[in-house]
Chain A
């Protein structure tokens, strides 16, 4: 008799690989009970493919539903979920999709899929109460340089070699242009969203770098240095004021404590 551990190992392996192992002799149900187990195997793949189709609907629109379905089928076997929260599943599907089948002939697919993932993530975020410019200015310039700033949770920064933001805007608008020219150009995209709304904006390289560095936890001074490396005319003070005036800063953390 199989132990429970052995039984679950075999069934789990069959589900994640799609290749059924011989547990049939120990099953009960119908004339050929092994085929009843196939119900679970099919559900695993079908339900997760449906999840990925839902999360990457724009990619299916761009690259075709068959490509996304085929890639999703391969993905659910290569990368089974690690968490019961399916909202968290699929974060590395963009890279997987980009290398799957004929997708490599579309070099913009990975950027577009990363952008779609980011759009999905920020649309379920919530805005936190922002700090005003006077709240931030009160810290004093010396301490501010060493401070880290937390920005709104519904912010993502993506750099792409293609203007995929325009393509995404076209998809989200529901329009079907007869012809769309996707320019190959270094593009710095800010994705901002909360409570079901999403806004895409293009930034200049220095502002993008400054904000992305802040999001990754760099101090204001370090983020400004990285931006100035890219553009010596970058004005950190003005960049900070703009962040505050658009309600993007939520907390500041100095080396000594948090405010």
Chain B
């Protein structure tokens, strides 16, 4: 596994499953100064492109730790195209950091030179496939490496969709050779919001292409679209919910071990709290994979 090899090369990680944590600006100096950290770290490159001090600290950290880059602004789903200037800046950071992975979202966030600061939903059909596949090719060509695409957190869909999300992702992998990031929390909350079975979604996810898993906290709110109902918002503002841990264990039994990341972006706690979530992810993974092996032996 590419990530495992790179991570072990940078630090003596064991063969056990290992989780990383999202590294946000408030924790940057602490980690650069040598605070204990997780097996690997993931950053949003957009936070470093116009912040020379943060970039300096990130490069220091990247000399000692495995780092992945999780883009939030490349917008491969935009019909008006990928911002090539932004892509160049990302490429420069990739060259400087030498990340273990570069990932982004199955979404759109820019339109005619305007950045909408959100990950917006796409209809899943042939027209969208052509647009996204073309832009993923462009990104991969510019970065000189596979781009890792994340399944979105969904609140609304489109009647114009003719494919399920997992069928869309499977076809995208076939057309572009991209890899996938399975955000298990997104799978859970999208299933709850859109009324389908999260376990069936995981079972249909193209496991062979998965390079990474994400876990993040969500917030429950009243659903204005459904009187008396509730909706789950992907806020990354809290701990991983218990049912998501269960879905994570199921995912690992189906996918096998995958590098897993704890995302916590808002109401950020002490860095040690993130490490505790990463330790729990490791424990869940070990238990799930042991159980998977037991079942295999018993079978």
Q: Which residues of A contact B (CB under 8 A)?
A: 1-5, 7-9, 11-12, 15-16, 25-40, 43-44, 47-48, 80-88, 123-126, 153, 194-196
Contacts and interface: CB of A to CB of B under 8 A. Distances in A.
Contact of B128 (A4, A86, A124, A126): A4
A36 B141 CA distance: 35
Given A7-B123, A88-B50, A32 B226 contact: yes
A126 B56 contact: yes
A81 B114 contact: yes
A8 B155 contact: no
Interface string B42-59: 000011011111101000
Interface string B98-127: 000000000011111111111011110001
Nearest to A16: B114
Nearest to B161: A28
21 contacts: A2-B160, A4-B122, A4-B128, A8-B78, A9-B111, A26-B160, A27-B157, A28-B161, A29-B155, A29-B157, A33-B157, A33-B225, A36-B155, A36-B156, A36-B225, A40-B155, A43-B118, A44-B116, A81-B116, A85-B49, A86-B117
B73 A85 contact: yes
Contacts of A194: 53
Contacts of A40: 118, 120-121, 155-156
Given A5-B79, A12-B112, A153 B225 contact: no
Interface of B: 46-47, 49-54, 56, 72-75, 78-80, 83, 86, 89, 108-118, 120-123, 127-128, 131, 154-161, 193-194, 223-227, 229, 231, 233
Nearest to B89: A85
A189 B54 CA distance: 26
B131 A4 contact: yes
Contacts of B160: 1-2, 26
Contacts of A7: 123, 158
Point out which of B86, B121, B229 has the most chain A C-beta atoms below 10 A from its C-beta.
B121
B188 to A, nearest CB: 16
A86 B50 CA distance: 9
B116 A196 contact: no
Given A28-B158, A48-B117, A124-B53, 9 more contacts: A1-B160, A9-B112, A16-B116, A29-B154, A31-B227, A32-B226, A33-B225, A124-B52, A196-B53
A8 B157 contact: no
A82 B116 CA distance: 9
A84 B120 contact: no
B120 A11 contact: yes
B156 A37 contact: yes
A39 B158 contact: no
Contact of B51 (A9, A80, A124): A124
Contacts of A31: 225-227
A189 B161 CA distance: 58
B79 A39 contact: no
Nearest to B49: A85
A161 B109 CA distance: 41
B157 A12 contact: no
B261 to A, nearest CB: 20
Chain A to chain B: the 5 pairs with minimum beta-carbon distance, closest first:
A84-B73, A30-B225, A36-B156, A12-B111, A28-B157
Contacts of B154: 29
A44 B117 contact: yes
Nearest to A51: B117
A83 B226 contact: no
Nearest to A28: B157
Contacts of B127: 3-4
Contact of A28 (B79, B109, B131, B156): B156
A30 B138 CA distance: 36
Nearest to B156: A36
Contact of A195 (B53, B123, B131): B53
Nearest to B154: A29
A195 B56 CA distance: 9
Contacts of A15: 116, 118
A84 B110 contact: yes
Contacts of B123: 4, 7
Contact of B114 (A12, A25, A195): A12
Contact of B194 (A3, A9, A29, A124): A29
A3 B160 CA distance: 9
Contacts of A3: 127
A9 B74 CA distance: 18
B53 A83 contact: no
Nearest to A83: B115
Contacts of A5: 79-80
A35 B154 CA distance: 13
A44 B118 contact: yes
B224 A126 contact: no
Contacts of A124: 51-54
A156 B226 CA distance: 52
Contacts of B194: 28-29
A33 B47 CA distance: 33
Contact of B159 (A27, A35, A44, A48): A27
